[in-house]
Amino acid sequence: MALIKSISGIRGTIGGQVGDGLSPLDIVKFTAAYGTWAIRRHAGKRVKVVVGRDARISGEMVDRIVVGTLMGLGIDVVEIGLATTPTTEIAVTNENAHGGIILTASHNPKQWNALKLLNEKGEFLNDEDGKLVLSIADKEDFHFADVDDLGQVTHVTDYNERHIQEVLDLKLVDVEAIKKANFSVAIDAVNSVGGVVLPQLLKALGVKNVIELYCEPNGHFPHNPEPLPEHLTAIADVMKSGKADVGFVVDPDVDRLAMVCEDGSMFGEEYTLVAVADYVLANTPGNTVSNMSSTRALADVTNAHKGEYTASAVGEVNVVTEMKAKNAIIGGEGNGGIIYPESHYGRDALVGIALFLTQLAKNGKKVSELRAEYPSYFISKNKIQLTPEIDVDAILVAMKEKYKNERVNDIDGVKIDFAEEWVHLRKSNTEPIIRIYSESKDEAKANALAEKIISEIKEIIK
């Protein structure tokens, strides 16, 4: 069993001993810590928190414990039921709430669940606030409400529709153009909440022919829920049969978007953001941000549109912080996460689908033709397992020194930018490993760069 505590939330497997997984007692403990943090942050106010969940098997159980714990603290709860992560983020601000909890373990397998924690802006907690929550939990520094001060629950059941309407209202979403294009669209919602929301969204966008794969929100994932090529064989087969113009795949909480071309080839998760940013930049010039482990293609596209690209530390909260600092008009992560501030500061697959379909409708190209227009890169993802006594920081310092004549960024590990490729070295916060991401023009070159760096690290360790 596993329980992972981080600033962005608490993630664990269901079942087992207390402290070894996400047991009911652990759920109470960390919910109480978050609620206590929110009460102290908004001292003197009656605190209100939004709770939404994906369709995991454990979702209802976790939901009841979370809601009851918040009520026990004297916090009012807006319960929105089955909802995507971006829907819950939007609900926080729409309800003028003081925070939100999303019950989802994102792309993790079905035995996992998690509490993703939001502030009053509907954004993930920053490092300082996340550490405060963990400290409160560690000390069990809670004070529950007297019987006359218990929290109340309000059930709101139309937030998926509200979210969809906000997407339709975006200036760069052209419903008439999409409707006129008469697309056939295949979707894979991995039997989670996307199975509820995506068909509604596509219908609202004027898409009449939708081929639905795994749209029953029962939490029984038919394949590994992370939307990587090796897991998407079913929708690839649909596309190869010529039945659809484009395929969309989401993870269980619908903040990541992968796309499949009309011929069954993968558009590439890294290129979801690249394509949508290209469309946005063509219509509203400006700056972009992605994390340091994302493809260089976004920088290429941004430069072509005369904008400024900036790389942030890994993590959605870091991308958002940098986007605000650079006044970026679009940003996100290479895992298919699109952040479009015109909507809100959170990864949102619904926004990505609507913008991409508009782009496709306006340019009249096949998806594979559009993909071929972008710079071609390949990212190789590797890691080195280390023994606990090895000083990972010292290794990173040594690598930084070794490549001091190249462009080196050390805001999050060490990223070395070469003329036509890059490599990013990061230590894990939870285990003794170094993650090594390398990108080059093709798979062989990316792998060769990774192997070279791994060899050099092993020499340092000796």
The answer to whether the beta carbons of residues 48 and 122 sit under 8 Å apart is: no
pLDDT in tens, 268-296: 999 999 999 999 999 999 999 999 999 99
Asked whether residue 182 carries a pLDDT value surpassing 80, the answer given is yes
Question: Closest by alpha carbon to 359, among 453, 273, 253, 455?
Answer: 273
Q: Is 268 exposed, middle or buried (0-12, 13-18, 19+ CB in 10 A)?
A: buried
Q: Give the pLDDT confidence score for residue 415 in this predicted structure.
A: 96
20 CA to centre of own chain: 25
pLDDT in tens, 21-71: 999 999 999 999 999 999 999 999 999 999 999 999 999 999 999 999 999
Separation CA 334–CA 325 (nearest Å) = 20
| Helix or strand holding residue 324 (H, E) | helix 316-326
Sheet of 309-312: strand order equals: 309-312, 287-291, 328-333, 337-339
Task: List beta partners, residue 188.
Answer: 213, 249
Q: Give the pLDDT confidence score for residue 461 in this predicted structure.
A: 87
Q: What pTM did the predictor assign?
A: 0.95
Pairing relationship of beta strands 3-6 and 184-188 according to DSSP bridges: unpaired
Active site residue 376: no
Options 23, 106, 192, 312, the catalytic residue? 106
Q: Give the pLDDT confidence score for residue 430 in this predicted structure.
A: 62
Question: Closest by alpha carbon to 316, among 330, 304, 332?
Answer: 332
Q: Give the pLDDT confidence score for residue 1 in this predicted structure.
A: 64
Asked whether residue 359 carries a pLDDT value surpassing 80, the answer given is yes
Q: Given pLDDT bands bounded at 50, 70 and 90, which one contains residue 432?
A: confident
